[in-house]
Amino acid sequence: MMVGRPPGSKNKVKDKSLEVFMESKEKLPDQDDRMGRMLKVMEEMKKGLEEGFAKIVGELRDSFEKQLEKLKKQFMEEKEDREAERKKEKEEWNKEKEELLERLWLLES
């Protein structure tokens, strides 16, 4: 009875490990290709995000500018209304003043 490996089995193990090594070595370019494709996809995603953020920022800026213009217009209208009201009050006050001066003049005469 023989104990141990059958003759030639050691070479088979070496051949099998060499074969596995060569297969794994052949797979490396595929992994590089996968990594390259993944990098391209990630770069495209980054570009898309940058464009998306630029679009959002542009829309926000436009919205802000519109709101600012609206507020400026509203402020100017309110300012004009206040000035018109002050002018009207001043005219009324001047009219009352003239009436009082006329009465005073009539009382004195």
This prediction's pTM = 0.47
Query: Which tens digit of pLDDT belongs to each residue from 2-54?
Result: 555 555 555 555 566 667 766 666 666 666 677 888 899 999 999 999 999 99
Query: Which tens digit of pLDDT belongs to each residue from 83-95?
Result: 999 999 999 999 9
Place of tokens 């193990």: 13
Distance CA 71, CA 69 (A): 5
Model confidence at 1: pLDDT above 50: no
Query: Which tens digit of pLDDT belongs to each residue from 19-30?
Result: 776 666 666 666
How is residue 4 annotated by DSSP?
A: S
Distance CA 42, CA 77 (A): 52
Average pLDDT over every residue of 58-79:
97
